A = this chain, B = another copy of it.
Amino acid sequence: MKRPKPNIDPIFHALGDPTRRAILDRLSRGPVSVSRLAEPLGITVTAVAQHLHILEDAGLALTEKSGRVRSCRIEPAGFAVLEQWIREHRTIWERRLDRLDDVLAKRWPDKSR
């Protein structure tokens, strides 16, 4: 019973931060330790650990401590949830309103629905 229900909120929140996206980019090239992750980012190891926790909660990263080193890697689960969300909402954006509806809506936006 350890399956976390797919919640899109923490995923968007996690991906909303550039530093976290940079971390994911780095992880995509293979597993890394926390301190190696911190090096190119110019922030403290503590900050990286905090970002990692957020990424883990979102199901985007997975970490595992062996010895004194915490190894961090990509976790596809979160990304799958994101893709699913996109799939479910694609039609919404793609829907082309026909000309008439469009014009009517423009004139009487309140009455249109």
CB interface residues, A 68-98, toward B, < 8 Å: 69, 71-74, 76, 79-80, 82-83, 86, 89-90, 92-95, 97
CA distance A74 to B74 in the complex (A): 33
In contact, A113 and B12 (Cβ under 8 angstroms)? no
Give min CB distance, A105 to chain B, whole Å. 4
Copies in the complex: 2
Is the C-beta of A5 less than 8 angstroms from some C-beta in chain B?
A: no
Nearest B residue to A105 via CB reads B31
In contact, A71 and B109 (Cβ under 8 angstroms)? yes
Interface of A is mostly: helix
22 A–B pairs (Cβ distance < 8 Å), ordered by A: A12-B15, A12-B16, A25-B92, A28-B89, A28-B92, A30-B97, A30-B101, A30-B112, A31-B105, A32-B109, A32-B112, A36-B109, A66-B107, A69-B109, A69-B110, A71-B106, A76-B93, A76-B94, A79-B90, A80-B93, A83-B86, A86-B86
